[in-house]
Amino acid sequence: FALDLASKVLPFYAEYFNIKYPIAKADQIAIPDFASRAMENWGLITYREIALLIDPKSSSLTVRQRNAMTISHELAHQWFGNLVTMDWWTDLWLNEGFARWIQYLAVDRFYPEWDVWTQYVADVFSQFLVLDALKSSHPIEVP
C-alpha cells in the first residue's frame, strides 16, 4: 500500500509543482515504537510502523486513509520543508500548512471515492474555526 501510493504521489507532486524530485530515490522506513507518527528527512522518511504498514486482510478503511494522509503529507515535505525551507522557525506554519493542504489533494487524486475534502471540512477546517474563535486566539505569526 505505502510503496504503491508513494510511487504515485512523488510524480504527482513533481508534475503539480513543475519541479522534479531532485534526488535519486525516496526511502520510507517503518520503525517500531518511533516517537513521532512520521518524520520527513531529505530522501528518507521514517514512520512509526502503524503509520506506514497495513495488513491488507484486516486494516480498516480508516487506517488506510490515515496512512495515506501521513504518507502524502511527509512526501510533500520533500518540497515544502526540504527543497524550499522557511526563512526562520516562526514561519514553520507555512511548511505544515502547505503539506497539510497538498496531502488532501494527492489522496483525493488517487482515492476519489474516499471524499477526503468533505472529511477535511468536518475534521480539520471546523477545528480551525473553533480555535480561531477563542479569546486566546492570536495571529499565526506573533512577533
Catalytic residues: 74
Distance CA 67, CA 131 (A): 25
Q: Per-residue b/e over 73-96, b at no fewer than 16 CB within 10 Å?
A: bbbbbbbbbbeeeeeeeeeeebbe
Q: Give the closest residue to 3 by CA, choosing from 73, 61, 53.
A: 53
How many Å is the Cα radius of gyration of the chain? 16
Name the phi and psi angles at 69, rounded to 5. Answer: -65, -45
